[in-house]
Amino acid sequence: MTGRPRTTAARVLQNRLFLAACLACTSLAVLALAVLLISVLVQGVPGLRWNFFSEYASRKPDRAGILAPLSGSVWVCTTCMLLSLPLGVATAVYLEEFARRTRLNRFIELNVRNLAGVPSIVYGIIGLTAFSRMFGLVGSADGTPLVLGDPESFLHLELPFGQSVLAGGLTLMLVILPIVIIASQEALRAVPRGLRQASEALGATRWQTTWQVTLPAAAPTILTGAILAMSRAIGEAAPLLVLGIPLFIASTPESLMDQFTVLPFQIYSWASRPQGAFHDLAASGIIVLLAVLLSFNALAIYLRIRLQRSTAS
């Protein structure tokens, strides 16, 4: 054998060197993160006063708040999740449990995997054409939308969707759908074959097996994947910018047809203002965005542990 150290001391030394190299790599990453976090915290924590959460944007930095972008982000991400979770899980169930390995299905699967790597701005362009403008097929030429139902009520539709929460949610759905599908597929694949076979041996149909055995067993992993996808959606700005969403808005959404703005957009805008006080506000905004992201991740971990416990018992 070549290259293998002969003595114990040499092997121990090699071991130590490797360990040191690994530690150096890890600490480099942690150091970069720490520098970033500390500088943001130092700059942004003083700005986290109560009215930062209860006020709209303002020309006076000490009066400016993130009510509009924070509520907009929550609305659009909730919409996105409610749309993409059923669709994504259903697609994964079809591909894993029902579909035959035909050439077409393999082609679909390959495409889903490729779509996961497409830059999000591309989905923004699809969203603009399909949801925001609806190919110019509906609504009048001067931009007045076609209104279905009472515009004052929560349940009404305006076609095309324009820059509404629904248009934003659908566009973000395009971004995270491939991720949700792949995560759900992996989760279903990880369910032991024996469970399905046992169920089928008892005379259960494939539908009963999927619904009562496979899906509950895969649920914790599916949820984790979905929530991680959602934390990606909340950080996205590019596809929404393509839709032409406004930056300043002095109201919070009340229905799916209302306009909105999002946190990353507001943070970017504050960071590019000339006045230094707005740069501090941007840092405060980043802290809020990070807190939202971390709470999503915490929720994912909590749900996984809880569901695993309940399926194990």
**Residue ranges in contact with another protein by CB under 8 A:** 56-60, 141-143, 244-251, 259, 269, 271-276, 279
- Of 220 and 285, nearer to another protein (C-beta) is 285
> Which of these, 236, 120, 247, 219, lies nearest to 178 by C-alpha position?
120
- Of 56 and 94, nearer to another protein (C-beta) is 56
Q: Which amino acid is at 155?
A: L
Give backbone dihedrals phi and psi of 259, rounded to 5 degrees, phi first: -80, 160
The answer for residues whose C-beta is within 8 angstroms of residue 225's C-beta and 6 or more apart is 179, 180, 182, 183, 184, 186, 187
Measured distance between the N- and C-terminal CA atoms of the chain, rounded to whole angstroms: 51
DSSP notation for 98-110: I----HHHHHHHH
Partners of residue 103 on adjacent β-strands: none
- Of 93 and 240, nearer to another protein (C-beta) is 240
- What letter would DSSP give residue 253? -
139: left (phi over 0), alpha (psi -120 to 50) or beta: left
- Of 119 and 244, nearer to another protein (C-beta) is 244
Instruction: Please state the closest distance from residue 55 (CB atom) to another protein, in A.
Output: 10
Q: Which amino acid is at 100?
A: R
- Of 212 and 272, nearer to another protein (C-beta) is 272
Instruction: Please state the closest distance from residue 88 (CB atom) to another protein, in A.
Output: 31
Instruction: Please state the closest distance from residue 276 (CB atom) to another protein, in A.
Output: 7
Q: Which amino acid is at 242?
A: V
Instruction: Please state the closest distance from residue 85 (CB atom) to another protein, in A.
Output: 29
- Of 249 and 281, nearer to another protein (C-beta) is 249
Instruction: Please state the closest distance from residue 266 (CB atom) to another protein, in A.
Output: 11
- Of 88 and 162, nearer to another protein (C-beta) is 162
Nearest-angstrom CA–CA distance, 200 and 204: 5
Instruction: Please state the closest distance from residue 278 (CB atom) to another protein, in A.
Output: 9
Instruction: Please state the closest distance from residue 136 (CB atom) to another protein, in A.
Output: 10
Calculate ∠ Cα 95-123-88, nearest 5°.
Answer: 25
The token pair at 225 is 């994947």
User: Is the alpha carbon torsion for 210, 187, 120, 269 positive or negative?
Assistant: positive
Partners of residue 148 on adjacent β-strands: 157
Q: Going along 114-190, which residue ranges are E strands?
A: 146-148, 157-159
Q: Is 194 helix (H, G, I), strand (E, B) or coil?
A: helix
CB-based contact 164:142 (threshold 8 Å): no
Instruction: Please state the closest distance from residue 269 (CB atom) to another protein, in A.
Output: 7
Instruction: Please state the closest distance from residue 293 (CB atom) to another protein, in A.
Output: 23
Q: Which amino acid is at 106?
A: R
- Of 88 and 285, nearer to another protein (C-beta) is 285
- Of 27 and 272, nearer to another protein (C-beta) is 272
